Amino acid sequence: MIVGIIGGTGVDSSIIESEKEHKVTTPYGDPSDMIIEGKIGNVKCFFVLRHGKGHRLNPSIVNYRANIHALKELGVTHIIASAAVGSLKEDFMPGDLVFTDQFIDRTTQRKSTFHDKDRTMHIPMAEPFCPEMRRQLTETAKRLKIPHKDKGTNVVMEGPRFSSRAESELYRSWGADTINMTMLPESVLAREAGIHYAAIAMVTDYDCWKDTVVDVAEILETMKGNADKVKRLIRSVVPELKDNNGCSCATDHKHAFV
């Protein structure tokens, strides 16, 4: 078992004991940044910053295919990805972590498959996030007394702009819990690659349905506390992950080609 960690806003490579950097080139271009090899306990890990150093890549231009392909080439079997999200419900409070179990795709500009030139893959996504990894994250968060939700439906919008109030209210009427800009196509590509994938969503704000405006400075301040929780959680859960999850995440792609 080799674990990939995708660091979203506020989560850096200090989460692992680093050993060396890898510059990886893929058929889909370069990943967001150098990929850092290290360990958590006795588990080999590879870390990549989703937005690159200095947060230079906005959510719509991140090369998600290159990031996932590079991790796959390095032998990664499980991915834990952190992501900042806005809340669409009163009880999903800033500071909470959410172990997302469903998504609604509102993106329009992104390459969402590795197979757009050779064959068609109809990857099943009824359960988009690894249920066993989510269970282990939930159990570990309970033990660490970290405020969390064990499931949630996340709307993934294009970005990099935030929602209009009308959009925010629309997504609330759909029953969605959170909103962000990066869980797609990342989770879909991981499934195509046969990698177990789980997201740790960090609630930073109430989107604009509740607040007059989404304030970046306030988000970053909340993010500091969230990032510390995520680091503690990942360092605790990685040594406990199971190599064989008893789910279909690693095999769905084998039966999805037309």
Range of the domain at 75: 3-255
The reply to whether 207 belongs to the active site is yes
Active-site choice (96, 205, 228, 243)? 205
Question: Up-side HSE of residue 130: CA atoms within 13 Å toward CB?
Answer: 29
Helix, strand, or coil (residue 97): strand
Q: Which of 23-37, 80-94, 192-206, 233-247 has the lowest mean pLDDT?
A: 233-247
Q: In this model, does residue 246 exceed pLDDT 90?
A: no
**148 closest CA partner among 77, 216, 236, 60:** 236
pTM: 0.95
Write out the two tokens for 233.
């959680």
The tally of domains found in the chain comes to 1
Active-site choice (207, 211, 228, 243)? 207
The reply to whether 211 belongs to the active site is no
Q: What is the CATH number of the domain that holds 237?
A: 3.40.50.1580
Q: Which amino acid is at 110?
A: R
Predicted pLDDT of residue 254: 93
